[in-house]
Amino acid sequence: MNTFRVLKTAVTDVAATTTQPGATAARTGVLNLSKGFTLQTPNFLAPTSRGVVPHLSPDNLEKNTGVEGVYVALEDFIEKAPQRVPPLYTYPSTLRSFISLPKSTFLVLSPRRSPAITCPKANSDANLSILTSVGFRDLPIKDYVSAIVRLEPDIVLGIADIANTVSPGKNRVQKMAMRTEKWLDELLGRVYECEDGSKDGEKKTVPAVFAPILPLEKERQRFYLSHLVENVEKLSGLVFTSADFVDVVPEELGGLPKLQSDVMGGPHQVLEMVGRGSDLFNVGFVGATTDAGIALHFTFSADEVGDGEEKLELATDMWDAKFATDLSPLDEGCECYTCKVHHKAYIRHCLEAKEMTAWVLLQIHNLKVVERFFGGIRKSIEEGWWEKGRSGFEKKYKSEMPVGTGLGPRLRGYQYKSVGGDKKLNEPAYRSLDSGDEDEL
Ligand SMILES: [Zn+2]
């Protein structure tokens, strides 16, 4: 059984009048997945690229990080379809095995990367527009639904029909809700048919299904939400692409865990979302920070902060030349592998030399900072100092991340938005010697 239990709800001014546990307040909980995973919330998921947490081999992920769950997109694996069968489908085992995911880490499967790049072609009744590594194409809904059985994720996210415009018209809104409902029913039907149809009489474990909440006001998705309420027994969670719509969730669904799939804004955004009752966070900002050569260093604690003090940076740009001879760790007192074994000068040298180790070491450290941050949030709710911790954090740290000054690792088209006329993302690695610009080489 996939279950979620709210353990404690933070008492705040807003929540003091709320009777529903966790409807609009920070809360701790425990998510149990049928395949034996247990997760304390609030907590984070690490986004993956083609099934890999960027820069980390599976053994590094297991040994040197506290990542408990990863967010994997099907669109990352199916560029050969429909002309050829993608290797993922000819491989004789599960997706977990295909990407060598450590046994202790659970897998969340989504149709699209997060944040998803907008496709030029709109979705249709039977297809979702996706972007694979070789371009845009359609993903038939039935293919995603049948892939679930074969790939055996621990959590599967329902497909939302999200319009390409920020404020869709009345007809489009109606279509969004109807398609999302129909696609969710197809997914639930397949998942539960699988459970009931096990031949050996033993019920097969089913993945936890998280239903998408549309980025629309409550009134505009009223019928869809009431459909979710009718099916609440079959749902194990809710997934949001925008934090602005957490409050549309009706009371009957308040006991389900809420996953925020696009968390690019950093720790202040996380705190805002935790404060509104979100439980799980796909932390895209960590990868973006690591790629920029930036080391995070923030903590969530009960320390008192004076009002007059200058705010601290959330992170440090490791490309800065002042670190060239700095033999101190990234963060004094950090227990991660990077901080125990290496110093700033070495990491900066690796960045300058475009040595991949730089990003490996930064990713290990940055994930550890985020792990401690979520640990602090849970502790604050448990011990009753959440509000104090949150306001202290806001007073203590600047709201923006510093901007990286160096080049990141090589970028790929399917990871970044581009519009016509953009400069190339990657500097050319080689130039012709007789092109007349030898002086620059
Ligand atoms: Zn560290």
Q: What pLDDT, on a 0 to 100 scale, did the predictor assign at position 16? A: 45
CB 302 within 8 A of CB 337: no
Q: How many angstroms does the Cα of residue 66 sit away from the middle of ligand 1?
A: 12
CB 235 within 8 A of CB 210: yes
172 falls within a domain: yes
Residue type, 436: G
Neighbours of 299 (CB within 10 A): 18
Pick from 219, 254, 282: which residue ends a domain?
Answer: 282
Q: How many angstroms does the Cα of residue 314 sit away from the middle of ligand 1?
A: 14
278 and 319 housed in the same domain:
no
Q: In what order do the strands lie in the sheet with 3-9?
A: 3-9, 27-32, 38-41
Q: How many angstroms does the Cα of residue 330 sit away from the middle of ligand 1?
A: 6
Q: How many angstroms does the Cα of residue 183 sit away from the middle of ligand 1?
A: 43
422 falls within a domain: no
CB 331 within 8 A of CB 298: no
What CATH number does the domain containing 224 carry?
3.20.20.105
Q: How many angstroms does the Cα of residue 368 sit away from the middle of ligand 1?
A: 6
Radius of gyration of the chain (CA): 23
126 and 163 housed in the same domain:
yes
Q: How many angstroms does the Cα of residue 340 sit away from the middle of ligand 1?
A: 7
376 and 254 housed in the same domain:
no
Q: How many angstroms does the Cα of residue 288 sit away from the middle of ligand 1?
A: 17
208 falls within a domain: yes
The count of residues in the chain is 441
Q: How many angstroms does the Cα of residue 382 sit away from the middle of ligand 1?
A: 25
Q: How many angstroms does the Cα of residue 339 sit away from the middle of ligand 1?
A: 4
67 and 181 housed in the same domain:
yes
441 falls within a domain: no
Q: How many angstroms does the Cα of residue 367 sit away from the middle of ligand 1?
A: 9
Residue 161: closest CA among 178, 148, 137? 178
Q: How many angstroms does the Cα of residue 289 sit away from the middle of ligand 1?
A: 14
319 falls within a domain: yes
3-state SS record for the chain: CCEEEEEEECCCCCHHHCCCCCCCCCEEEEEECCCCCEEEECEEEEECECCECCCCCHHHHHHHCCCCEEEEEHHHCCCCCCCCCCHHHHCCCCHHHHCCCCCCCEEEEECCCCCCCCCCCCCCCCEEEEEECCEEEEEEHHHHHHHHHHHCCCEEECCCCCCCCCCCCHHHHHHHHHHHHHHHHHHHHHHHHHHHCCCCCCCCCCCEEEEEECCCCHHHHHHHHHHHHHCHHHCCEEEECCHHHHHHCCHHHCCCCEEECCCCCCHHHHHHHHHCCCCEEECHHHHHHHHCCEEECCCCCCCCCCCCCCCECCEEECCCHHHCCCCCCCCCCCCCHHHHHCCHHHHHHHHHCCCCHHHHHHHHHHHHHHHHHHHHHHHHHHHCCHHHHHHHHHHHECCCCCCCCCCCCCCCHHHCCCCCCCCCCCCCCCCCHHHCCHHHC
215 and 305 housed in the same domain:
no
Residue 172 pairs with which residues in a beta bridge?
Answer: none
Q: How many angstroms does the Cα of residue 132 sit away from the middle of ligand 1?
A: 34
151 falls within a domain: yes
Q: What pLDDT, on a 0 to 100 scale, did the predictor assign at position 426? A: 66
Q: How many angstroms does the Cα of residue 51 sit away from the middle of ligand 1?
A: 24
Residue type, 138: D
State which residues form the domain around 317: 301-404
Give the β-pairing of 69-73 and 135-140. unpaired
d(CA 155, CA 236) in angstroms, rounded, equals: 9
246 and 381 housed in the same domain:
no
143 falls within a domain: yes
Q: How many angstroms does the Cα of residue 337 sit away from the middle of ligand 1?
A: 7
d(CA 219, CA 107) in angstroms, rounded, equals: 33
45 and 102 housed in the same domain:
yes
169 and 226 housed in the same domain:
yes
271 falls within a domain: yes
175 and 305 housed in the same domain:
no
Q: How many angstroms does the Cα of residue 72 sit away from the middle of ligand 1?
A: 25
Q: How many angstroms does the Cα of residue 388 sit away from the middle of ligand 1?
A: 26
Q: What pLDDT, on a 0 to 100 scale, did the predictor assign at position 202? A: 59
Q: How many angstroms does the Cα of residue 38 sit away from the middle of ligand 1?
A: 25
Q: What pLDDT, on a 0 to 100 scale, did the predictor assign at position 165? A: 78
189 and 325 housed in the same domain:
no
Q: How many angstroms does the Cα of residue 254 sit away from the middle of ligand 1?
A: 36
267 and 388 housed in the same domain:
no
Q: How many angstroms does the Cα of residue 296 sit away from the middle of ligand 1?
A: 9
The CA-atom distances, in angstroms, between 313 and each of 107, 292, 393 are 33, 15, 11
Q: What pLDDT, on a 0 to 100 scale, did the predictor assign at position 289? A: 94
d(CA 220, CA 177) in angstroms, rounded, equals: 9
Q: How many angstroms does the Cα of residue 358 sit away from the middle of ligand 1?
A: 13
Q: How many angstroms does the Cα of residue 343 sit away from the middle of ligand 1?
A: 10
117 and 54 housed in the same domain:
yes
CB 193 within 8 A of CB 239: no
The number of distinct structural domains making up the chain is 2
One digit per residue, pLDDT tens: the chain, 441 residues? Answer: 899 999 999 876 554 444 444 446 899 999 999 889 999 999 999 999 999 999 999 999 999 999 999 999 999 999 877 788 889 888 999 999 999 999 999 999 999 998 888 888 889 999 999 998 888 999 999 999 999 988 999 999 999 999 887 788 889 999 999 999 999 999 999 998 877 665 555 566 789 999 999 999 999 999 999 999 999 999 999 999 988 898 899 999 999 999 999 999 999 999 999 999 999 999 999 999 999 999 999 999 998 776 667 899 999 999 999 999 999 999 998 999 999 999 999 999 999 999 999 999 999 999 999 999 999 999 999 999 999 999 999 999 999 988 888 777 766 555 555 555 566 666 666 677 666 555 544
